[in-house]
Structure 1
Amino acid sequence: MPKDIDQESKPAPNAPVVRLMVLETDEPHPATQDERGSFGQILHQHFAQTGAAHDPPLGIETDQVYVVGDRGGRMPAVAEFDGFDGVLVTGSRASADGDEPWIRELLGLLRELWTRRPSDLVFIGVCFGHQLLARLLGAEIRTSPSRDWELGHCAIALSPVGQRLFRTGDAAHVYLHQMHQDQVAAAPPHNELCEGDVQVWGCSAHTPVQGLYVANRLFTTQAHLAFDRAMVGRQIAMRVESGGITDRAHADRAAETAHLEHDGDVVAAAILRMFHFGDDGAEGKEMC
């Protein structure tokens, strides 16, 4: 069974609380599921630890709903988001530009929430979730032009917005674990859902849009903020075994980087600052 949250992850009883609805769009490797739980539980633990280290500390409450209908999931109703401060869409092996019924249904739900809750619900996306929210707002999702995968421990070049969001000072990069072939081609254009500027906080040689940001409303990341060494190796192995990744040498090299330190806590801290104690974004569209 997954481990309980340790005492160091628990803030004071009177700490402000951030409530997140996590929409799980896939399941982790079975060994990871046994050790750490579902993707939603893994993210809960990560944010709980980050919230406990926040100044002042934040409590984190999450509900998790597995939404892949053809594999036993269900799509929550809009009313189930009442009382939540944010919605987080997880990573998935599915393609964010796919036409599966559950993906269409999820897009419909997110569109309704985006329209109904313009000022009091923060939208967060990780990997597949990043791409799906970009698609919702009108961005193009495409396979990498080189058709290769961005895998393992990677450097992400920060735009000025990213440097402010992550409070990196003069540091121009963060380092995170990647696992994707598809990518967001460019920030969403102005349209009926996207009236303000959507800013890109980072890019890499492989991927022009590593994350999107709308002040007080949206934060996405192509990379995985909560992966650990075991998860990286197992998730890569799953994609090799399924035939998704065919370049085994590339996969092996990426797996060898799984032990390297990454900045997932820095990303989580920036996300939590969307809810409490200010917002570090900047006005105006700034690109890599």
Structure 2
Amino acid sequence: MEKHEHEVTGDGQLPVVRMIVLETDEPHRETQSRRGTFGEILHHHFAAAGKAHDPPLGIETDRRFIVTENGGTMPKFSDFEDCHALLITGSVYDAHGDNPWILELLDLLKKLWIHHPKLLFSGVCFGHQLICRLLGAEIARSPSGDWELGHSAINLNDIGKCLFRTEDDKVYLHQMHQDQVVEPPTPSSSNGLLGPETKVKVWGWSDHTKVQGIYIRDRVFTAQAHLAFDQGMVLKQIEMRVESGCIEDMEHADEAAETADLEHDGEMVAAAILRFFHGNDTSIE
């Protein structure tokens, strides 16, 4: 069954950021009954960031569930005509996989990249990896085969500090991944999608994953970690992966679950991506 929902947050007088959220998975049923779909969760997260923005911004979200093998529908190129930005959610699927819907999504993203040059691209976890794959980066399991789970420290470089408007050397976010971007995309890897002078910036790294997100001015801002997960979501996502057999190291899973209640910097990351969507970071090269 197609899920195509639309929501606006704002008072009607505010500048509005219009984005399409491409839902590449569904939350645990308990999470969905409590907080909604991944798109709804992200809408409310960005709406809070918009309210805190100076001056405040409204958020208009068009949410599409696109996993066609599970009843979703892939949007058309024309659906993005009046859209400022797209955001691809996390997923249990492999971003390096060849599922028909993943290949169809990559084809759509390529067309949008070429023919909608003002559209801004963002992605979280799977979304981050898929955008990097679009631009020619390799996506693979971590060399050790282990997961990066739960509340995690991400080291920031100067670009990261500038994007997040912080002097801190780290941000803390919830992680839920085994795959990673091996190396950031480059103009030579991108099959012509990136111009020869394009600067692809990695904004942060961890001991597990050296590409925690990329930034391309006026085009891409991604994050490997989940900016909108709360304690309940972390616990249920770990539970789902243990039950499916994806996570076999129970000691690691239990340790990660114990960090689910720790405070994280998801609001800071949402604010940074929103500024990117609104065009506030033009000073960052």
**TM superposition score category, shorter chain reference:** over 0.9
Specify the SS of the correspondent of 1:176: strand
Q: Distance in 1 between matches of 2:37 and 2:280?
A: 31
Report the equivalent of 1:124: 122
8 Å Cα contact 1:12/1:57 also seen in 2? no
- Name the count of aligned residue pairs: 273
Specify the SS of the correspondent of 2:172: strand
Q: Distance in 2 between matches of 1:275 and 1:189?
A: 22
Report the equivalent of 1:286: none
Report the equivalent of 1:199: 201
Q: In the TM superposition, what is the alpha-carbon distance from 1:11 to its structure 2 partner?
A: 4.4
Specify the SS of the correspondent of 1:274: helix
Q: In the TM superposition, what is the alpha-carbon distance from 1:280 to its structure 2 partner?
A: 5.8
Report the equivalent of 1:189: 186
Q: Distance in 1 between matches of 2:22 and 2:14?
A: 25
Report the equivalent of 1:6: none
* Equivalent residues in 2 for 1:165-244, closer than 5 Å: 165-169=163-167, 171-191=168-188, 192-195=192-195, 196-244=198-246
Specify the SS of the correspondent of 1:142: strand
Q: Which amino acid in structure 2 is aligned with residue 276 of structure 1?
A: H
Asked if residue 105 in structure 1 is aligned to residue 107 in structure 2, the reply is no
Q: Distance in 2 between matches of 1:280 and 1:153?
A: 31
Report the equivalent of 1:4: none
> 1:181-235 CA distances to partner (integer Å, 9 max, x unpaired)?
0000111021301221111000000001000001111010000000001000000
Normalising by structure 2, we get a TM-score of 0.93
Q: Distance in 1 between matches of 2:181 and 2:239?
A: 24
Q: Which amino acid in structure 2 is aligned with residue 34 of structure 1?
A: S
Q: Distance in 1 between matches of 2:209 and 2:58?
A: 34
2:274 to 272, 275, 285: 272
Q: Which amino acid in structure 2 is aligned with residue 76 of structure 1?
A: P
Q: Which amino acid in structure 2 is aligned with residue 257 of structure 1?
A: T
Unaligned residue ranges in structure 2 (runs of 5+)? 1-7
Percent identical pairs in the alignment equals 60
Bigger shift: residues 190-199 or 236-245: 190-199
8 Å Cα contact 2:121/2:219 also seen in 1? yes
Q: Distance in 2 between matches of 1:46 and 1:224?
A: 11
Q: In the TM superposition, what is the alpha-carbon distance from 1:22 to its structure 2 partner?
A: 0.5
Unaligned residue ranges in structure 1 (runs of 5+)? 1-8, 284-288
Q: Distance in 2 between matches of 1:265 and 1:229?
A: 15
Q: Which amino acid in structure 1 is aligned with residue 14 of structure 2?
A: A
* Equivalent residues in 2 for 1:1-288, closer than 5 Å: 11-118=10-117, 120-169=118-167, 171-191=168-188, 192-195=192-195, 196-276=198-278, 278-279=280-281, 282-283=284-285
Specify the SS of the correspondent of 2:246: coil
Specify the SS of the correspondent of 2:54: coil
**Root-mean-square deviation over aligned CA pairs:** 1.2
8 Å Cα contact 2:17/2:59 also seen in 1? yes
Q: Distance in 1 between matches of 2:267 and 2:175?
A: 15
Specify the SS of the correspondent of 1:45: helix
Normalising by structure 1, we get a TM-score of 0.92
Q: Which amino acid in structure 1 is aligned with residue 179 of structure 2?
A: D
